[in-house]
Homo-oligomer: A and B are copies of this chain.
Amino acid sequence: MPKRTVFFVSDQTGVTAETMGHSLLTQFEGLAFRAVTLPFVATPEKAAEARARIDATADSEGELPIVFSTLIKDELRDEVKAARAVFLDFFDAFLGPLESALGVKSSHAAGRAHGMANLETYTARINATNFAIANDDGTHTRDYEQADVILVGVSRSGKTPTCLYMALQYGIYAANYPLTEDDLEGGKLPAVLQRHLPKLYALTIRPDRLREIRHERRPNSRYSSAQQVAFEVRAAEALYDRIGIPYLDTTLCSVEEIGSRIMQATGIERRLKP
């Protein structure tokens, strides 16, 4: 099946246009799309280039491309809108209703969403990211006092990307502690975790999925064997149940969903405001 081309056009990074477009396109199962992001379309020359590129695609594919636009300045938007495409205009759809609701005109200024960062936001993110990296492997536990949350789980249950996502997205100080075979065989929580029980949140995963993930890393090893994986997951869940650590099955979850569910379940307050 030929793939329909989709453009994400933005005067800034294109992250908002991609997020919006992706949300909508996933509603059309069975269709295939080719995604092209055109970021930093912030001058009339860039807008003319974008238009030419969209027109060329329309010509070569014989079908109108889809354009998701978050362009805010009228002159740039008008230029790109003139391309032969289905033009879905984010600001056009919502700024009018918002202006009425708020009773003021918007500034129509480009690129505020992911543009200039203030020092406070920047510092919060960099500190949270450094915290997640420094507290990633369970060997460094001195900073647990400062942690907002400590994720526990067996190897490859999703702890590391979740901690980093939470740092970048929410500014959360998230540590993670991988449960070792020793921990699991003893059936006891390490003392350092015991001291921070209210901060613990566990990730678990279906053994068949964990096997696949571990197999990618170390094929045909004990680490990725059915028996070992089943033992670890069972022992870990038994431990969480006995001690009363809340846990989430990450098997069908994206990192975004895991992060969001942890925020929701623990009630931790984000340090970065949306």
Asked whether A95 lies within 8 Å of B24 as measured between CB atoms, the reply is yes
Asked whether B161 lies within 8 Å of A126 as measured between CB atoms, the reply is yes
Asked whether B90 lies within 8 Å of A27 as measured between CB atoms, the reply is no
Q: Which of A1-29 contact B (CB under 8 A)?
A: 4, 8, 12-16, 18-29
Known contacts A257-B13, A260-B14: A19-B21 contact under CB 8 Å:
no
Task: Kindly state the separation between the CA atoms of A91 and B39 in the bound complex, as whole angstroms.
Answer: 23
Asked whether B129 lies within 8 Å of A161 as measured between CB atoms, the reply is yes
A119, CB-defined interface residue at 8 Å: yes
Known contacts A13-B260, A18-B274, A35-B274: A161-B102 contact under CB 8 Å:
no
Q: Cβ of A194: which chain B residues have Cβ within 8 Å of it?
A: none
Asked whether B20 lies within 8 Å of A107 as measured between CB atoms, the reply is no
Task: Kindly state the separation between the CA atoms of A130 and B102 in the bound complex, as whole angstroms.
Answer: 45
Task: Kindly state the separation between the CA atoms of A18 and B39 in the bound complex, as whole angstroms.
Answer: 20
A125, CB-defined interface residue at 8 Å: yes
Task: Kindly state the separation between the CA atoms of A121 and B254 in the bound complex, as whole angstroms.
Answer: 9
Asked whether A117 lies within 8 Å of B20 as measured between CB atoms, the reply is no
Q: Cβ of A102: which chain B residues have Cβ within 8 Å of it?
A: 4, 28, 31, 66
What class of interface size applies to chain A in its complex with B? Answer: 35 or more
Asked whether B254 lies within 8 Å of A114 as measured between CB atoms, the reply is yes
Asked whether B24 lies within 8 Å of A125 as measured between CB atoms, the reply is no
A223, CB-defined interface residue at 8 Å: no
A253, CB-defined interface residue at 8 Å: yes
A239 to chain B, nearest CB (A): 23
Known contacts A39-B260, A264-B39: A254-B27 contact under CB 8 Å:
no
Asked whether A257 lies within 8 Å of B126 as measured between CB atoms, the reply is no
Q: Cβ of A8: which chain B residues have Cβ within 8 Å of it?
A: 274
Taking beta carbons and an 8 Å cutoff, which residues of A are in contact with B? Answer: 4, 8, 12-16, 18-29, 31, 35, 37, 39-40, 64, 66, 70, 72, 86, 88, 90-91, 93-95, 97-98, 101-102, 104, 106-109, 112-117, 119, 121-123, 125-126, 129-130, 133, 136, 156, 158, 160-161, 164-165, 167-169, 209, 212-213, 216, 252-257, 259-261, 264, 273-274
14 A-B pairs whose Cβ atoms sit less than 8 Å apart in the complex:
A12-B257, A20-B20, A23-B70, A23-B90, A24-B95, A27-B106, A35-B273, A88-B97, A114-B254, A116-B254, A117-B252, A126-B161, A165-B168, A168-B168
Other A-B pairs, 9, CB within 8 Å; known A12-B260, A27-B95, A28-B107:
A16-B23, A20-B20, A23-B70, A23-B112, A31-B102, A66-B102, A114-B260, A115-B253, A117-B255
